[in-house]
Structure 1
Amino acid sequence: MRIAMVAGEASGDLLAAHLIRALRVKFPMASFVGIGGPKMQAQGFDAWWPCETLSVMGYVDAIKRLPELLRVRRGLLARLKQNPPDVFIGIDAPDFNLGVETRLRRAGVRTLHYVSPSIWAWRGSRVHKIGRAAEHILCLFPFEPEIYARHGIQATFVGHPLADEFPIASQVGPAREILQLEVDAQIVAILPGSREGEVRRLAATYIETIKLLAAERPALQFLVPLITRQTRQIFEEALYLAGAQHLSVRLLFGHAHEAMAAADVVLVASGTATLEAALLKRPMVISYKVGALMYRIAKYLTYLPWVGLPNILAREFLVPELIQNEATPDKLAAAVGKWLDDKDACALLATRFETIHLSLRQNNAEKAAEAVALLLARA
């Protein structure tokens, strides 16, 4: 058995590593080749190129690196067509993987795409391109297979890996112990995003929100986990410009999960972190800002009234979303304050989040491996 894979970023590397481990149980003699990262390599994956090769930040970076990416794709396709694998599995990275899958499928290779693009949120017409590229789609959310079924495309819900990783019970106490926080402190976690552009757009607004909350609640403490030195520097400069260095704001390198778990309320930029906060059963306020042109385009192409994953999964506004011009310090501080003052609402929300957690907890890697095995059995 020879299985080819392509993962283009750290999250895909982790997802693929779990899948490789589960597939080895079913196919002990299988070999795994393609593009991947250190976690995949730790499972015996033969990385012809590292996953960082496909990592791009935004349209400008993608355009600059297009010649290199095209060379990598040509080289990958040549190797896989010369010695075809039993199956090719594209792990997320749809801009790269769907093109590879289409060409391999035409050459007679079985193809599978792991992680459905968010066709339910915007650019739904991509479903036709996905259907031409992959014989089967592995979906992280339970409502996705029905969308593909309408177009005659095979898809399987395999659960979300974070739902398997995160404990069902709240971890406030252990998280506060890890971060050396007082047990009875009142804490707000601030997550302005992982990308530099996100932090630049949100830092000033979030800091003004912190100032308003601190003026009303002097004992309130703030945790700000930042993933890189660059994003930390951006936030530190914004603190200095706002004259907010005296406030009880603690910047962390990483530790986002611990910060959210330890917090009474989370103020978070829209993205995967909103799902993480829900799995940690934390009340949250979701916000986001993009450039004016991008916002107009997104509004035109978006189908759903929600942007945060917890609200999308619940199909209702479980938590407030303050997007673009609505994301003002006054409104954000008021929304955070409501959660801080309403313990009954927080308890009810935790119950709803637990229901979502259980629905996503499916033994993700094992279920994905089973879907791959069934595809191979039909060969």
Structure 2
Amino acid sequence: MAGEASGDLLGGLLLEGLRLALPGVRFWGVGGEAMQAQGFDARWSYEPLAVHGFVDALKRYPRLARFRRALVHALAAPPVDLFIGIDAPDFNLGLEAQLKRAGIGTVHFVSPSIWAWRRRRVKTIARAVDLMLCLFPFEPALYAEAGIEARFVGHPLADRLPLAPDQAGARAALGIAPQAPVLALLPGSREGELRHLLPVFLAAAARLRQALPDLVLLLPTANALGDALVAEALAEAPELGVHVLPRRAHEAMTAADVVLLASGTATLEAALLKRPMVIAYRMNPWQYRLLRRMAYLPWVGLPNILLRETVVPELLQDEANPADLAAAVLRWFEDAPARARLAERFTELHLMLRQDTAQRASEAILTRFGPKLGRG
């Protein structure tokens, strides 16, 4: 059960390993294109589940609650052998708790950010999850304190993405001149993110064109919703000449010199591709104040969190405005030595997370649930 585009991507990488370890098992549930490419039977789309913060979740709660009840019924009669919830903790943990009470084994892939905020959530996790698969090496110790079985499996993107990205090849594939300045724009995959950030990103890009007249703008989209919202926004700004690249985020970031993007999984993807970035996020003002009070760390971007220092700028809420975003992006274009130093740090991070996640996750699942799945 993947709740959004980033979860679908992770699910596709996980299923690639599980299919080899469990060739006779059928995988079905909620997912998207990446999971379907691995033979997954996507009986429901994840797109209606993608919410943007508390306000959006409250608006959609009745529909989400009905859908969760329908899923419990579908998964419990006759019961599946194992349920794997991929990210989307606000939806999946509640679903997993009900399934666990019904005797169905539960795995949660991608630890919620209890190290960043809402640490008391670990009690909810204990009631819901039999096995937690962790992407980052410091996470299992947090769960051990609460008596929850957890395994560090590395990050599948670190296995999939090359240590030395081929920028020249990506540019050639996209028809971009080798020496052109290139900026990739990734304003998120969820409706709320796109509506908050896409207009601001486009306004920042317009400012950057004044300093970099030959700037090439790439804007990958993650799903059909993104296709529609991006087309709507660009119809109002045809002069920007933005190149829209459906489902080609990695290619866009590889070709880029700098990436301007929303906080989330994409920040780690950009780091693994060794790209300088500016991280931005905007949300409902009262929700932002609440989250800041609940946060344990001074950062929201995964590169900064994992390296334990501010290696890339984060512009949040009112700071995420066109003028400041453009200025932060321009500094990366103008400072080649800083870009080189950052690439070295990101290579260290890449090696730390490259653990053959598909194999390690499969081994962890089979060790815990082998007999249930016909193995062991």
Query: For the superposition of Structure 1 and Structure 2, which TM-score range results when normalised by the shorter chain?
Result: 0.7 to 0.9
- CA deviations on 1:259-296 (whole Å, 9 max, x unpaired) are 21111111112122211111111111111111212211
2:319 to 326, 336, 346: 326
TM-superposed CA distance for 1:44, in Å, is: 5.5
* Structure 1 letter corresponding to 2:229: T
Counterpart residue number, 2:122: 127
Calculate the TM-score normalised by the size of structure 2. 0.87
- CA deviations on 1:98-140 (whole Å, 9 max, x unpaired) are 2333234334443322211122222221111101111220011
Counterpart residue number, 1:71: 69
Contact 1:188 1:267 in 2 (8 A): yes
**Secondary structure of the equivalent of 1:222?**
strand
Counterpart residue number, 1:50: 44
* Structure 1 letter corresponding to 2:356: N
TM-superposed CA distance for 1:369, in Å, is: 0.5
Counterpart residue number, 2:148: 153
2:177 to 182, 185, 190: 182
Contact 1:77 1:100 in 2 (8 A): no
Change over 3 Å in CA distance of 1:12–1:56 after alignment to 2: closer
Change over 3 Å in CA distance of 1:377–1:203 after alignment to 2: closer
2:342 to 308, 324, 349: 349
Stretch deviating more after TM superposition (51-60 or 165-174): 51-60
Matched, 1:364 2:362: no
Counterpart residue number, 1:101: 96
Counterpart residue number, 1:115: 110
Contact 1:190 1:225 in 2 (8 A): yes
What 5-or-longer segments of structure 2 have no aligned partner? none
**Secondary structure of the equivalent of 1:90?**
strand
* Structure 2 letter corresponding to 1:127: V
Counterpart residue number, 1:373: 366
TM-superposed CA distance for 1:21, in Å, is: 4.3
Contact 1:204 1:238 in 2 (8 A): no
For the residues of structure 1 that align with 2:191 and 2:175, how far apart are their CA atoms?
A: 28
What 5-or-longer segments of structure 1 have no aligned partner? 1-5, 240-244
**Secondary structure of the equivalent of 1:167?**
coil
Counterpart residue number, 2:274: 281
TM-superposed CA distance for 1:61, in Å, is: 5.2
For the residues of structure 2 that align with 1:343 and 1:150, how far apart are their CA atoms?
A: 44
TM-superposed CA distance for 1:226, in Å, is: 3.4
Counterpart residue number, 2:200: 205
- CA deviations on 1:6-29 (whole Å, 9 max, x unpaired) are 344454445444444433444444
For the residues of structure 2 that align with 1:46 and 1:320, how far apart are their CA atoms?
A: 40
Calculate the TM-score normalised by the size of structure 1. 0.86
Contact 2:72 2:95 in 1 (8 A): no
**Secondary structure of the equivalent of 1:105?**
helix
**Secondary structure of the equivalent of 1:125?**
helix
For the residues of structure 2 that align with 1:229 and 1:44, how far apart are their CA atoms?
A: 25
Counterpart residue number, 2:138: 143
TM-superposed CA distance for 1:212, in Å, is: 2.6
Contact 2:50 2:190 in 1 (8 A): no
Aligned-residue Cα RMSD (Å) equals 2.7
The alignment of Structure 1 onto Structure 2 pairs a total of residues equal to: 365
Counterpart residue number, 2:190: 195
Change over 3 Å in CA distance of 1:197–1:94 after alignment to 2: closer
* Structure 2 letter corresponding to 1:222: L
For the residues of structure 2 that align with 1:248 and 1:36, how far apart are their CA atoms?
A: 33
TM-superposed CA distance for 1:32, in Å, is: 4.2
* Structure 2 letter corresponding to 1:55: L
* Structure 2 letter corresponding to 1:312: I
Change over 3 Å in CA distance of 1:259–1:54 after alignment to 2: closer
Stretch deviating more after TM superposition (23-32 or 305-314): 23-32
Contact 2:4 2:50 in 1 (8 A): no
Which one has a bigger Cα radius of gyration? 1
TM-superposed CA distance for 1:45, in Å, is: 5.1
Matched, 1:265 2:265: no
Contact 1:111 1:134 in 2 (8 A): yes
Counterpart residue number, 1:3: none
Change over 3 Å in CA distance of 1:78–1:215 after alignment to 2: closer
Identity %: 50
